[in-house]
Amino acid sequence: MRAAAVAFDALAKNAPIYDWMHEQLERAKEANASLIVFPALVGNLFKSEADFIEKTFSLSERFPDICICPGSFFETAGGRTYHTSFVVHGGKRLWKQRQLYLAKWERKRQLSRGNELVVFEMHGVKTAIILNTDVFYPQVARFAAMQGVTIVLSPLSLIKPASFAKQLSGLWQNVQQNLFFAIESAFNGSFMDASFHGKTIIHAPLELNERQNGIVKMTDDGLIMHDLPLGKLDRAKRLYNPIRQLNIPAYRKLF
């Protein structure tokens, strides 16, 4: 499976956000990517929540061969506001994930928490969205791994000041501890009087990474792609599989 990750930089805001997303999808299509992940908060740059969802479905219809995770947005439902991401394919929304834990800046904006980690099959591969702040709560990634997840999609908005070391303490560390692939797409810029910065990274277990650092591709802006060697993951687990050493029943009712 060829996966793509997109970094959002401040320069991209000079053009309409829909046009920018369309351009990234064109490039992904030309490279035969079957999955693309956009950064967190991208949905909030549209005119409205409804406009974001409508235009995302439109993009999905234009690129029916690509599963699209269009980043994230602030979803209003039942008098509450959630930080939410989803996946669309062929013009239909297939899976939705609300963020489970909240950072200080998210609590300050009175966001609410989700209560379930959704595990779904994408192109026949077990997948989950670990959204934004949830990457820093290791029980989320561990729960996903226990459900047999092979790919994690992760729109990210890391508030400044933040270091690369802090970012690595999130998803990169969870990939190595739980052995799955992850597509992490970062928002770089300003939103609601806050500034954000992070690297966009395609992660793999050390055993499946030629440089043995777990970082397959990385960028500050633009688009990166990589063919995920899904068939080799079992080999990596034979070398090192921490799940076998855990008290699995203790995690069953985590969410």
Residue 181 has pLDDT above 70, yes or no: yes
Q: What is the DSSP letter of 171?
A: I
Q: What is the mean pLDDT of the chain?
A: 91
Write out the DSSP string of 215-242. Answer: EEEEESSEEEEEE--GGGHHHHHHH--G
pLDDT 10s digits, 223-244: 999 999 998 888 877 777 776 6
Beta bridge partner(s), residue 82: 75, 112
52 Cβ neighbours under 8 A, 6+ residues apart? 43, 44, 46, 70, 73
Give the residue from 27, 18, 8, 38 showing the smallest Cα distance to 153: 38
Q: Which helix (H) or strand (E) holds 31?
A: none
189 vs 147: CA distance, rounded Å = 35
Q: What six digits make up the tokens of 245?
A: 């050493």
Residue 218 has pLDDT above 80, yes or no: yes
Q: Can you give the residue ranges of every domain in the chain?
A: 2-247
Q: Which superfamily does CATH assign the domain made up of 2-247 to?
A: Carbon-nitrogen hydrolase (3.60.110.10)
Report the predicted TM-score, pTM, of the whole model to 2 decimal places.
0.92
pLDDT value at position 10?
A: 55
Query: Does the bond joining 161 to the residue before it have cis omega, within 30 degrees of 0?
Result: yes
pLDDT value at position 92?
A: 85
Residue 144 has pLDDT above 50, yes or no: yes
pLDDT 10s digits, 33-90: 999 999 999 999 999 999 999 999 999 999 999 999 999 999 999 999 999 999 999 9
Residue 11 has pLDDT above 80, yes or no: no
139 vs 53: CA distance, rounded Å = 30
Strands 119-122 and 72-77 turn out to be: unpaired
pLDDT band at 94 (very low <50, low <70, confident <90, very high): confident
Q: Which helix (H) or strand (E) holds 97?
A: strand 92-98
pLDDT value at position 34?
A: 96
Would residue 100 be called left, alpha or beta, if left means φ above 0 and alpha means ψ between -120 and 50 degrees? alpha
